[in-house]
Amino acid sequence: MRNFKTLLAGAAVAGLALTGIAAPAAVAGTTSAPAPAVSTETPASPITADRYTVRPGERLDITVDHGREMVSWISSAAFVRNEPHPMGLDEGMAVPYNDTLGYFHAKATIADVPPGRYEIRARIGGGTPQPIAITVR
Q: Strands (DSSP E) along 11-131, which ranges?
A: 47-49, 53-54, 59-65, 71-76, 92-93, 95-100, 103-109, 116-124
Residue 63 binned pLDDT confidence (cut-offs 50, 70, 90): very high
The single-letter DSSP state of residue 79 is B
Over the range 65-96, which residues count as b (16 or more CB within 10 Å of their CB) and which as e?
bbeebebebbbbbbbbeeeeeeeeeebbbbbe
Amino acid 136: pLDDT: 98
Residue 129 binned pLDDT confidence (cut-offs 50, 70, 90): confident
Amino acid 5: pLDDT: 57
Region 121-133: mean pLDDT is: 93
Q: Kindly report the average pLDDT of the chain as a whole number.
A: 82
- Rg of the chain over Cα atoms, rounded to whole angstroms, equals 26
Chain center to CA of 74: 15
Rounded Cα distance, 126 and 132, in Å? 18
Amino acid 42: pLDDT: 58
- The pTM of the whole model exceeds 0.75: no
Secondary structure of residue 120 in the 3-state scheme: strand
Q: What domains appear along the chain, each with residue ranges and CATH number? A: 1-38 (no CATH), 47-136 (2.60.40.10)
Amino acid 4: pLDDT: 54
Region 116-133: mean pLDDT is: 94
User: Does position 60 have pLDDT exceeding 80, yes or no?
Assistant: yes
pLDDT single digits (tens) 66-113: 999 999 999 999 999 999 999 999 999 999 999 999 999 999 999 999
